Structure 1
Amino acid sequence: MAAVAGRQASEAKFTTADFLRPAIDAAAAAAETNSTVSFSSLGTANFADFDFANGTRYPEQATASVGPATYKPGATVAHVPITLDRPTPNTIIARVMTEDGTGLVRGVAGVNYQPIYKSVIFRPGDPLTKTVEVPIILGIPQADFIVRFVEAPWGGKLGTDRAYVQCDFQKEPTPTQTEGRAPRIFTPSGTLQWRMSRDTLKWSDAGHDKAWSTKLPNGRSQPGNQETGIYLDGWLYRDAGIEPPLRYTDEGLVMHTQKLKQPLEWNGVFYNYGSVVLSGHNSKPLQIGYGQYEFTAKMPDRRGSWPAFWLISTAGWPPEIDIYEGFGFESWWDFDRYTANTLHGGANINRTFQQGIFMNTDEVYGIGGFTKGFHSFAVDIQPDYITWFIDGKETYQAVNPFAGFRWYPIMDVAVKTNGDYRDGSGDMLVKDIKIYSN
């Protein structure tokens, strides 16, 4: 989200390089075995010495380009290179597609080539060039076609966005390029520190070691985010005619949002909607430095709802790590197919960088239906990289600019709408939370 004090998220105490050196020797073995340690030889070498300036700086994004490709007559496949201009500090997903050529003689889909719509994934430490395969039906000279990006690469910058694929007798065919590592599988490496159950999940106004707080450290509203909902507490507002914002059922914790029958006031502003939040800022058992958070939930689908599970530094905002975020106030957002992961860097309530990705996880990874059933969203925070997972499969990774920080979790469903707010469900149903500390 963007943290407390505007969902915006502190000052790191060490640089990443201070923590990396002892683990470099184990890097290759860890990558090969899908260990929870996410080092890769190229990624470690490229960013171990980067000056993150106490969590206020981030390496420059890589630029992705489509390169020209050549194949010989009689070939059944053409290999088209997708290239980065530098090692990437985070996962880049480039969606590519084919397009007919131009001119009197041109390659035509279904005649000369089989059209494609694919994703090319670069993870930190991967080779800088990967190829995408295009099946060839009838390769003849001058029947050129185009491979292009669908849009700017997710997680990277846009370079050359298209290139021709040519059939040529005389030129050597473009070779296939080595693929990078396989996605990691989520396996907690830390010790289980806290797990959600009827007995362990408690909440109160301020929160304490045995209870989450029903408000953010800065209060019950986020006007800096243009939110229109007030974060409710069923006990504090028991005489206001509200529906219970929190209740534990056999399926798990229901985090309920609503349109209020009567506006409620906070800090001189009246709110027409009820949001809901649980924050661990006063709950030390929920806080870790390095380790893993795993959150299992079913998402709302109501327009104007803004569900999230995120982490804030115990020293203040920024930094922030968004494990899951759903932008239901955007008309284009599809709760069943899209997810978002973001890092917010900076210090003293001043964000200096924002690095993340909006992703169609259904298209890229075959993972979707987030409003129709329970899915797990996890993050592994290590000195070198932060890695995100959905249903146990790695979906994103970014170099960790926040070495030495400690974190507390927040889960909420904000409201950002002025509409009727009655379509579908505005509730997030949380089935499980596990917190592991390394």
Structure 2
Amino acid sequence: MSRPLAVLAVCSALLAAGPVHARDDWKLVWSDEFNGTALDETKWTPAIDCGGGGNDERQCYADSPETLSVQDGALRLTAIKRKTWGVVNPWAGPTGPLKAGDYASGKIVTQGKFSWRYGRVEARARVPGGQGAWPAIWMMPELSTYGGWPRSGEIDILETVNLGAPCPPVGEACADGRENRVFGTIHFAGDATGAHKQVSASTPLPASPDGFHVYAVEWSPEAIVWFLDGREYARAKPQDWKRDDQPASAAPFDQPFHLIINLAFGGRWPESVNAKGIDEAALPATMEVDWVRVSQLASQD
């Protein structure tokens, strides 16, 4: 999940124009169809913290039926207004100073249970709107092989912020004056000092009868490619993420990454754009995930 995100560099050169036909040589290696009545904790770990995600987000993550549930064949992460306590620094472990937040929400991760290097990860999901709502499906390195963030990279498969909130026209996106974009982004170190750089692109989120869309990334040594409902809308290659002091290479996106799904509320990015700040009228906000699937090619096994 993007951090920090003060200004998005939307790289029009990354945008692709036509539909992409699905390959038939992918092999499913991991999935969760969310068909049970509880989260499968052999695959996921619920987050419990008030760390703010490194973005000054306002929610605390809580493992409670109100914020995290599996029902009617879908994962449901819900942001609500509720005073919640949690650790300030989740990266230091479950102990340490505590803080309280005014909002609670849900987040799940596969770290320590499942990670992979290269492949296709896709999810069918419905995301909420409202000023401050920030749902995301993203990947972080299982181990910080190249150092702390952003040196070891980050791959954001899906992010939306403030859907439906006022939006100044930006090309074809937000043409009706309302936020309607989905973002795909990678974060990495731009030089030997570890200075943060990112490559980001967006595409309008089309209307659908039930609000569900399929978000996907195909990740290989040659490229990271983003799709919405089977249509490619962005592509990055090693030369796009290379460090200024090094030649292009697959690093840091050549290591195993794990999967994260969360619903944040507030934070530096959503609060700095659209109507600014947060709007509690957006709560309760629910992100639903019908399924998530990871596939690999035989050459990636």
> Is TM-score (shorter-chain normalized) higher than 0.5?
yes
Q: Are the equivalent residues in 2 in contact too, given 1:196–1:432 (CA < 8 A)?
A: yes
The match for 2:188 is: 345
Instruction: Write out per-residue CA displacement over residues 338-373 of structure 1, whole angstroms, 9 at most, x where no aligned residue.
Output: 1111110129994531111233x25xxxxx126952
Q: Residues 229 and 306 from structure 1, CA distance in 2 versus in 1: closer, same or farther, beyond 3 angstroms?
A: same
List aligned pairs for 1:14-413, cutoff 5 A.
92=13, 123=16, 182-187=18-23, 189-198=25-34, 203=39, 210-215=42-47, 219-222=49-52, 224-234=54-64, 244-260=66-82, 262-267=83-88, 268-284=98-114, 287-316=115-144, 317-318=149-150, 319-328=153-162, 331-332=165-166, 337-346=180-189, 350-359=194-203, 361-362=204-205, 368-369=206-207, 372-400=210-238, 401-402=250-251, 403-413=253-263
Deviation at residue 191 of structure 1 after TM alignment:
1.8
Pair 1:436 & 2:272 matched = no
- Residue 408 of structure 1 aligns to a residue whose secondary structure is strand
Deviation at residue 275 of structure 1 after TM alignment:
1.9
Q: Are the equivalent residues in 2 in contact too, given 1:298–1:370 (CA < 8 A)?
A: no
Deviation at residue 424 of structure 1 after TM alignment:
6.6
Deviation at residue 298 of structure 1 after TM alignment:
0.7
Please tell me the residue identity of whatever aligns with 1:276. G
Give unpaired runs (5+ residues) of structure 2: 89-97, 168-173, 239-249, 272-276
Please tell me the residue identity of whatever aligns with 2:138. W
Question: How many residues get paired?
Answer: 248
Inter-partner Cα distance in structure 1 for 2:37 and 2:193:
30
Q: Are the equivalent residues in 2 in contact too, given 1:299–1:371 (CA < 8 A)?
A: no
Inter-partner Cα distance in structure 2 for 1:391 and 1:278:
23
Q: Are the equivalent residues in 2 in contact too, given 1:344–1:351 (CA < 8 A)?
A: no
Deviation at residue 263 of structure 1 after TM alignment:
4.3
Q: Are the equivalent residues in 1 in contact too, given 2:122–2:294 (CA < 8 A)?
A: yes
Instruction: Write out per-residue CA displacement over residues 263-313 of structure 1, whole angstroms, 9 at most, x where no aligned residue.
Output: 4353332200012111111212xx211100011001101321110110111
Please tell me the residue identity of whatever aligns with 1:353. K
- Residue 321 of structure 1 aligns to a residue whose secondary structure is strand
Inter-partner Cα distance in structure 2 for 1:200 and 1:351:
43
Inter-partner Cα distance in structure 2 for 1:224 and 1:386:
24
Inter-partner Cα distance in structure 2 for 1:349 and 1:421:
39
Give unpaired runs (5+ residues) of structure 1: 8-60, 62-89, 94-120, 124-180, 235-242, 363-367
Q: Residues 223 and 247 from structure 1, CA distance in 2 versus in 1: closer, same or farther, beyond 3 angstroms?
A: closer
The match for 2:286 is: 427
Q: Give TM-score scaled by structure 2 length.
A: 0.70
RMSD over aligned Cα, in angstroms? Answer: 3.4
Q: Give TM-score scaled by structure 1 length.
A: 0.50
Deviation at residue 182 of structure 1 after TM alignment:
4.5
- Residue 289 of structure 1 aligns to a residue whose secondary structure is coil
Q: Residues 190 and 394 from structure 1, CA distance in 2 versus in 1: closer, same or farther, beyond 3 angstroms?
A: same
Structure whose alpha-carbon radius of gyration is higher? 1
Q: Residues 91 and 397 from structure 1, CA distance in 2 versus in 1: closer, same or farther, beyond 3 angstroms?
A: farther
Deviation at residue 410 of structure 1 after TM alignment:
0.5
Please tell me the residue identity of whatever aligns with 1:354. Q
